[in-house]
A and B are shown apart, each in its own frame.
Chain A
């Protein structure tokens, strides 16, 4: 187990290095010059040259990369071309927002997806099953931006219950914070809950037909105990792993949903940075999200090993 952990942690560093080289190179392929984007309508060549020098854009790409890497190793991610803020500060501003939204979304997904999957498997072939499947189909096929706008129209404009968009930090006012994030979290969670429901259903169906479940029933255990204590525990292992990976995706920013609800998270940050060719911000955010994603993958692997002794080698 320790060996496995050491091996996996040792793999993180080269992976991150590879990710950083990749993102650095890919950015250079984007058409558009950051200095020109910064200058906008202003076309004074001296100013553009000054911007290039200040941000070392006039240096060869490998040299630019080395400068950036040196900074990262000392905890300095550089500063935003657009607004001069240190990238580290920008990330520190956005990460809690994305963490909150991602966690709420995944909780909603678990709360809806898992019970729906279980009910659908246990009541296979009944109206419950068809209802849950219909819900899953709806969840998967509903575009986030459309659902988001519908929710805003219903809960903000018609009923006036929730704010239409914006964000309030949890530490400032937790009630207002939950009110501001519940709709985007639901939009995100809804799509994931549909995926989780489908996985839970098929895993449960498989488990319910296995020998040990038949034995449990033969022992005379109540149906409730068979399903919740015996079948569900085994069936949920792959679902939890899937949930961890979905959380990783959420933490890399939910671009469309953040845009619609004006949630100042990672998704909005990176999209604006790409559009403005704000290289330092793109690199910083990608590196952080890659780290988060890899770490969550590692946690999922470890959890898998913990529950499945056969994988410990």
Chain B
């Protein structure tokens, strides 16, 4: 199971911009990477979702409290047996090319997600057998089996609607000139430089859109991103380094927004593919010892300036799903040593620990390495670049892997999402409000079999 990171980019921000701006306004947003193709069927990057939210509306959305709310749909109903979902569409919605968003268009979009050969939405919509048009503004998703998480899939790229006319003409090149039904329409993209969007005059919710243009600029280096914000070249940035947060807070011109993420950072142990049958993969006691040797709060203080939340489960301790009967364990070296002794392993227990390259990732690995050494672990850190991490953990190359969240792992920290905006500029646009949230990350519903088969109430 992997946690999906959903993005609501500045939906709170954009919709709260009380409309007093007289002249043409441009919001320049610094993002941490250059997204891949801007096609909701093929796009797969995290940062891509931030950009999609500006121009590609979905059937449903998630509000600040993570409630599922209608967007291009008005409502939905699930049949008693859970095998059909009927969705009522919002009337009078137009795509950026003037084509109407009706049931035929919605059916086309979902079927495109399901059938385009290179679509990455196939598994998200795997429960859907086919789509039926009930009336011009109603569609019915007929499911193979009841699948309650489907509604959350429709709040992400699987729920994004594309203009059938434009998509048919462009095929898998649609993402070069995407045509959706969002608040902004695509103007131009210069790879690795900028993506420009301008206000769509016929947007269904145009009264709540008060910024004329949005420019996304990928700036990889976090320090440079922040420097751009400080110099006024950008109005909003995402992913502020934990070590920069203090500096941002101290700057009266900037507003910082933070929110605990729903994802987690942890240490994933390769149990099934360890051909060498090392003690870490074979003995639960050794894994418990490793967990006990780590002081999560120390990692938080040393690497993340105390901005993250120590964690031991797949959600943060403040989350409703957090199991309070299993609190974050403290560090207990004596117990860890005793467990290793009980397991009868020879010391030191060597571990090959793979981490993606990056200051914060490598720093966490070094802190874990030195703490675990005291209990009797010999951790060898292997920093590899991101593309290699996809390939390596599968075979037995690695015994341990730092991951943003996956099954069989020891969660260590709940990251804090943070972004910063320029106060002066923002208050020019919003006289009374400052943004309280830039984006939050959501979650997929629990995907255990029992949860999947239940129908939403």
Contact pick for B220, options A31, A38, A82, A259, CB 8 Å: A259
**Which residues of chain B (121-138) have a CB below 8 Å from chain A?**
122-123
Query: Are B120 and A84 within 8 A (Cβ)?
Result: no
B232 beta carbon closer than 8 Å to chain A: yes
Q: Which of these binds chain B: A202-210, A241-249, A269-277?
A: A269-277
**Which A residues touch B352, using CB under 8 A?**
none
Query: Are A32 and B173 within 8 A (Cβ)?
Result: no
**Which B residues touch A47, using CB under 8 A?**
117-120, 122-123
A44 beta carbon closer than 8 Å to chain B: yes
Contact pick for A157, options B44, B117, B118, B230, CB 8 Å: B230
Query: Are A163 and B233 within 8 A (Cβ)?
Result: yes
B191 beta carbon closer than 8 Å to chain A: yes
Number of A-B contacts (CB under 8 A): 126
**Which A residues touch B175, using CB under 8 A?**
83-84
Query: Are A44 and B123 within 8 A (Cβ)?
Result: yes
**Which B residues touch A44, using CB under 8 A?**
120, 122-123
Q: How far is the CA of A85 from the CA of B39 in the complex (A)?
A: 13
Return the CB mask of A11-55 against B: 1 if under 8 Å, else 0: 000000000000000000011110011111111101100110010
Size bracket of the A interface: 35 or more
Q: How many residues of B contact A (CB 8 A)?
A: 44
A295 beta carbon closer than 8 Å to chain B: no
A262 beta carbon closer than 8 Å to chain B: yes
Contact pick for A37, options B119, B220, B387, B392, CB 8 Å: B387
**Which A residues touch B21, using CB under 8 A?**
none
**Which A residues touch B218, using CB under 8 A?**
262
**Which A residues touch B230, using CB under 8 A?**
156-157
**Which B residues touch A149, using CB under 8 A?**
223-224, 227
A226 beta carbon closer than 8 Å to chain B: no
Measured between C-beta atoms, what is the minimum distance from B305 to chain A in Å? 20
Query: Are B385 and A275 within 8 A (Cβ)?
Result: yes
Return the CB mask of A273-305 against B: 1 if under 8 Å, else 0: 001110000000000000000000000000000
A268 beta carbon closer than 8 Å to chain B: yes
Nearest CB in chain A to that of B389: its residue: A32
A166 beta carbon closer than 8 Å to chain B: yes
A128 beta carbon closer than 8 Å to chain B: no
Query: Are B193 and A264 within 8 A (Cβ)?
Result: yes
Q: How far is the CA of A277 from the CA of B36 in the complex (A)?
A: 13
**Which A residues touch B224, using CB under 8 A?**
149, 152, 164-165, 260-262
B176 beta carbon closer than 8 Å to chain A: yes
A82 with B233: in contact, given A36-B390, A47-B122 (CB under 8 Å)?
no
Q: How far is the CA of A42 from the CA of B390 in the complex (A)?
A: 11
Query: Are B386 and A42 within 8 A (Cβ)?
Result: no
Return the CB mask of B85-107 against A: 1 if under 8 Å, else 0: 00000000000000000000000
**Which A residues touch B227, using CB under 8 A?**
149, 152-153, 156-157, 164-165
A90 beta carbon closer than 8 Å to chain B: yes
- Report which residue of A41, A260, A264 has the largest number of chain B beta carbons within 10 angstroms of its beta carbon: A41
Nearest CB in chain B to that of A262: its residue: B219
Query: Are B37 and A277 within 8 A (Cβ)?
Result: no
**Which residues of chain A (147-191) have a CB below 8 Å from chain B?**
149, 152-153, 156-157, 160, 163-167
- Report which residue of A39, A83, A156, A167 has the largest number of chain B beta carbons within 10 angstroms of its beta carbon: A83
Measured between C-beta atoms, what is the minimum distance from A135 to chain B in Å? 26
**Which B residues touch A37, using CB under 8 A?**
387, 390
Query: Are B388 and A54 within 8 A (Cβ)?
Result: no
Query: Are B190 and A82 within 8 A (Cβ)?
Result: no
**Which A residues touch B65, using CB under 8 A?**
none
**Which B residues touch A64, using CB under 8 A?**
none
A50 with B193: in contact, given A41-B44, A42-B123, A262-B224 (CB under 8 Å)?
no
Measured between C-beta atoms, what is the minimum distance from A153 to chain B in Å? 7
Query: Are A269 and B385 within 8 A (Cβ)?
Result: no
B374 beta carbon closer than 8 Å to chain A: no
User: Which B residues form the contact surface with A (CB < 8 A)?
Assistant: 2, 4, 34, 36-37, 42, 44-45, 117-120, 122-123, 172-173, 175-176, 190-194, 217-221, 223-224, 227-228, 230-233, 384-388, 390-392
User: Which A residues form the contact surface with B (CB < 8 A)?
Assistant: 30-33, 36-44, 46-47, 50-51, 54, 82-85, 90, 93-94, 149, 152-153, 156-157, 160, 163-167, 259-262, 264, 268-269, 272, 275-277
List 11 contacting pairs A-B, 8 Å CB cutoff, sorted by A: A38-B44, A41-B2, A41-B4, A47-B120, A51-B118, A84-B37, A84-B172, A153-B227, A166-B233, A260-B221, A264-B191
Task: Pick the 6 closest A-B CB pairs, nearest first.
Answer: A264-B193, A156-B231, A32-B387, A264-B192, A164-B228, A42-B120
